[in-house]
């Protein structure tokens, strides 16, 4: 029997251990986006087309599990199966040609998945100013269809709500607040390091009670933890890690009790059950959970298993039988869910169908419209495009598509 419709979305289904937490870390490894449980188990690649000279970068995951990341000079939106939901070039401010065509970095998606923020770094020589690196942070909808404005000289933005970020502005404006669509030069300073050391990147916990930042330079570069009382006053220094020039991208766990960050060995998770001013009691040494990983982002979505779905024309199917009684496809799936969608000929809908499946094999029947039955009655063969969606019992819906050919 010839396979005429096959969509392979993975090789095996990954079992999630019963003790695993319902959250996950996405990160970069071997130029691709990966996902894993916070203890490092269940790690798998989300994408497979990243290359050294065209890598994925700066992944960020919304609470529903959708992922935004940089890929080349674009921003892409993905589901956990690696299906591309959107791809777009980041907008740049008018009259800012020095930022055009440069890769977006520091990408972050809102918890509700509606907006992304990103930074573009460019080298330019402006009239009346010295040559140097300049930055612009931009806001767009996560599908790239709406532009929500810009903020200049702000880097490494991180959302603190669905409509506000913290970012980093350098000397004299270390940690700042900003909101989309509010203006290009209106970011306001939250606090500066009292010892005049630079702060380059960081993240506020979801509970808004602790802040982690990367502080200082070179051999003195370290991760600094602050206790936050409220956002109207400067936080209080609590503790810091040892110096390491390779530290990067701190990201809090959803409960704010652990933090993941990158260094030369990979991604480490450090428990911080308590944070008080002047000390971090109960802090233990961290564990490298994802060797070789970089750019972690920790979110509340669980790791979805990799799905595998295959569909073939049912045995004994002929075109006259399909037109009169419906076209049946035999489906094999390793997870329970619902498959539904339409058959099309040159973008025109000619049949529709829906069926529920348990792991294993089953069938789905597509009933042709009266117009289609009449139009194709004398055809010797018919090729239709199956445009389907599989919604598993747990996890995000995924597309299943391909061409089906039926002969008389």
**Which of 299, 323, 354 delimits the end of a domain?**
299
**Which of 274, 299, 324 delimits the end of a domain?**
299
Q: Which domain holds residue 400?
A: 309-407
| Same structural domain, 225 and 264 | yes
What does each C-alpha distance from 9 to 29, 33, 48 come to in angstroms?
A: 20, 15, 11
Query: What's the confidence (pLDDT) of residue 36?
Result: 97
Supply 262's token pair.
């990158």
Q: Does 117 map to a domain?
A: yes
pLDDT in tens, 22-79: 799 999 999 999 999 999 999 999 999 999 999 999 999 999 999 999 999 999 999 8
Instruction: Give the predicted TM-score (pTM) of the model.
Output: 0.78
Q: Does 266 map to a domain?
A: yes
Query: What's the confidence (pLDDT) of residue 353?
Result: 94
Query: What's the confidence (pLDDT) of residue 98?
Result: 61
User: Are the C-beta atoms of 13 and 308 separated by less than 8 Å?
Assistant: yes
Supply 243's token pair.
């110096």
pLDDT in tens, 315-335: 888 999 999 999 999 998 888
Q: Does 2 map to a domain?
A: no
Q: What is the CATH number of the domain that holds 129?
A: 2.120.10.30
| Same structural domain, 247 and 390 | no
Distance CA(36)–CA(29), nearest Å, equals 12
**Which of 299, 332, 351 delimits the end of a domain?**
299
| Same structural domain, 356 and 272 | no
| Same structural domain, 212 and 357 | no
Query: What's the confidence (pLDDT) of residue 129?
Result: 60
The list of the chain residues with pLDDT below 50 reads 1-21
User: Are the C-beta atoms of 158 and 111 separated by less than 8 Å?
Assistant: no
| Same structural domain, 345 and 370 | yes
| Same structural domain, 336 and 206 | no
Question: What is the tally of structural domains in the chain?
Answer: 2
């Amino acid at each position: 029997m010839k396979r005429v419709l096959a969509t392979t979305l993975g090789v095996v289904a990954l079992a999630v251990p019963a003790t695993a937490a319902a959250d996950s870390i996405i990160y970069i490894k071997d130029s691709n986006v990966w996902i894993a449980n916070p203890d490092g188990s269940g790690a798998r690649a989300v994408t497979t087309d990243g290359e050294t000279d065209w890598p994925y970068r700066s992944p960020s995951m919304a609470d529903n599990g959708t992922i935004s990341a940089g890929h080349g000079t674009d921003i892409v939106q993905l589901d956990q199966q690696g299906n591309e939901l959107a791809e777009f070039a980041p907008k740049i401010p008018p009259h800012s040609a020095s930022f055009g065509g440069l890769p977006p970095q520091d990408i972050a998606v809102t918890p509700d998945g509606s907006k992304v923020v990103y930074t573009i770094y460019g080298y330019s020589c402006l009239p009346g100013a010295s040559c140097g690196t300049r930055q612009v942070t931009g806001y767009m909808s996560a599908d790239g269809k709406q532009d929500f404005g810009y903020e200049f000289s702000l880097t490494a933005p991180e959302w603190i709500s669905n409509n506000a970020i913290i970012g980093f502005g350098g000397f004299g404006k270390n940690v700042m607040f900003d909101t989309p669509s509010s203006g290009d030069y209106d970011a306001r300073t939250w606090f500066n390091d009292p010892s005049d050391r630079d702060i380059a990147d960081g993240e506020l916990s979801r509970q808004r009670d602790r802040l982690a930042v990367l502080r200082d330079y070179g051999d003195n570069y370290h991760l600094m933890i602050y206790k936050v009382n409220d956002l109207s006053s400067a936080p209080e220094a609590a503790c810091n890690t040892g110096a390491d020039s390779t530290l990067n991208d701190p990201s809090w766990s959803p409960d704010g009790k652990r933090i993941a960050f990158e260094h030369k060995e990979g991604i480490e998770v450090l428990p911080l059950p308590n944070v008080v001013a002047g000390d971090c009691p109960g802090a233990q040494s961290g564990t490298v959970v994802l060797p070789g990983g970089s750019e972690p982002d920790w979110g509340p979505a669980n790791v979805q298993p990799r799905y595998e779905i295959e569909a073939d024309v049912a045995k004994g199917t002929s075109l006259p039988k399909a037109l009169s009684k419906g076209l049946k496809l035999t489906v094999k799936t390793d997870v329970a869910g619902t498959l539904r969608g339409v058959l099309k000929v040159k973008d025109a809908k000619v049949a529709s169908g829906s069926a529920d499946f348990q792991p294993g094999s089953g069938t789905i029947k597509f009933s042709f419209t009266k117009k289609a039955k009449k139009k194709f009655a004398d055809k010797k063969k018919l090729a239709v495009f199956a445009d389907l969606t599989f919604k598993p019992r747990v996890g995000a819906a995924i597309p299943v598509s391909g061409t089906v050919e039926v002969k008389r």
